[in-house]
């Protein structure tokens, strides 16, 4: 993932919004209007990836900005045509319950803040989209799910790759045995992280590379198999003399075993560059590199002794717009997201087992 600065001292959300879902024939009815999003946290990922893609959405619209930095609110409010009355600090965050124009609160904050602001949004009667990792513990994930259920609202986690065309194709090909039944998966994600950012502060991040880029390695194995791992073994390699890694880990390598017999070998790293996975079946392999980047995915397939590229025509809607619209469509249709809170909980349970395995130098069973 690209890394962006986000404020660590936060302060609210508040008063009314107007949703300008106005067409040539006049105001849309409530059932027809676009679903309104409030973006909570105006760091790099929100401002460079999420917010610019609302223009590509069919059903979603940016209606509110939430930040503890007034200058950011002014800057992005002007850029997106959101008036000052629709800019919010964190001090009056809970007042969103009185604002019927906000349908979804998209939490894009440091990991340790996901649970609190997602739960408060649900308690205010809002649907919640939360960035991954969903939280810093499985217990927090469970609390977030419970809060949304109690409120009767949807909870979706920002697994954007599930809406990326090449990843969607890879899932289809792998699960239907295009290169034979899957036997082995390799999944590697990492980048050399720059110092002096919140991701290197355990109280905010909840961990190091595993809580950031490693979740892509883990989640890919789960969506490519359609299974939950039953066993994990992990080792950590961190140079504690490196000032970046005073409180968090650098590299973790882990092995997952799945009920069908698939084995997945994975890497999570803050000191080396990776963005790839390969699904190896009995008749060949499906290779993605880059696999889960913001753009530029490339697929190759080896089958019948030949290696050939697989290309997809560029879709009208990219993974970011696809994700935003999916949540909107689920709200309009009363359906469940393909990446609900339970998906984030499943990853956190495995991540906790990975950390435990590395710390205790033993294999951890995940079987229920």
Active site residues: 132, 216
User: What's 313's DSSP letter?
Assistant: P
Closest CA to 347 of 161, 148, 108, 107: 161
Q: Are 151 and 333 in contact (CB under 8 A)?
A: no
Are 186 and 133 in contact by the 8 Å Cβ rule? The answer is no
Among 91, 47, 67, CA closest to 320: 47
Q: Output the six-digit token pair for 7.
A: 């404020």
| Complete DSSP assignment for 218-243 | HHHHHHHHTS--SEEEEEEE--TTSG
Q: How many C-beta atoms lie closer than 10 Å to residue 137's C-beta?
A: 17
Alpha-carbon distance of 265 to 254, in angstroms, equals 6
Three-class secondary structure of residue 306 per DSSP: strand
Q: How many CB atoms lie within 10 A of CB 215?
A: 24
Greatest C-alpha distance within the chain:
66
Query: Is 147 buried (19+), middle (13-18) or exposed (0-12) by CB count in 10 A?
Result: buried
Name which of 320, 260, 284, 294 is nearest 173 in CA terms: 284
Structure tokens, 253: 């390598």
């Amino acid at each position: 993932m690209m890394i962006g600065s986000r404020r660590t001292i936060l302060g609210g959300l508040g008063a009314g919004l107007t949703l300008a879902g106005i067409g040539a024939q006049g105001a849309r009815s409530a059932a027809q209007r676009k679903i309104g999003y409030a973006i909570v946290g105006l760091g790099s990922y929100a401002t460079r990836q999420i917010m610019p893609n609302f223009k590509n959405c069919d059903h979603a619209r940016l209606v509110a900005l939430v930040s503890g930095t007034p200058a950011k609110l002014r800057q992005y409010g002007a850029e997106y045509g959101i008036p000052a009355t629709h800019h919010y600090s964190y001090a009056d965050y809970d007042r969103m319950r009185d604002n019927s124009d906000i349908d979804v609160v998209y939490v894009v904050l440091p990991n340790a803040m996901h649970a609190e602001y997602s739960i408060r949004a649900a308690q205010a009667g809002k649907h919640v989209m939360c960035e991954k990792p969903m939280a810093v513990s499985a217990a927090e994930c469970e609390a977030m799910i419970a809060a949304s259920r109690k409120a009767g609202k949807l909870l979706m986690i920002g697994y954007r790759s599930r809406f990326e065309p090449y990843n969607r194709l890879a899932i289809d090909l792998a699960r239907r045995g295009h290169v034979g039944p899957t036997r082995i998966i390799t999944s590697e994600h990492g980048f050399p992280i720059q110092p002096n950012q919140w991701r290197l502060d355990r109280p905010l991040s909840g961990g190091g590379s595993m809580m950031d880029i490693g979740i892509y390695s883990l989640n890919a194995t789960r969506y490519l198999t359609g299974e939950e791992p039953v066993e994990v073994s992990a080792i950590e390699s961190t140079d504690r003399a490196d000032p970046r890694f005073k409180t968090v880990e650098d590299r973790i390598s882990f092995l997952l075993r799945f009920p069908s017999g698939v084995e997945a070998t994975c890497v999570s790293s803050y000191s080396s560059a990776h963005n790839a996975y390969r699904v190896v079946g009995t008749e060949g392999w499906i290779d993605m590199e880059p696999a889960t980047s913001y753009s530029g995915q490339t697929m190759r397939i080896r089958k019948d002794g030949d290696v050939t590229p697989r290309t997809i025509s560029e879709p009208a809607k990219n993974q970011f717009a696809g994700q935003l619209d999916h949540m909107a469509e689920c709200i309009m249709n009363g359906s469940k997201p393909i990446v609900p809170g339970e998906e984030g909980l499943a990853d956190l349970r495995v991540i906790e087992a990975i950390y435990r395995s590395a710390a205790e130098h033993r294999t951890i069973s995940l079987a229920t």
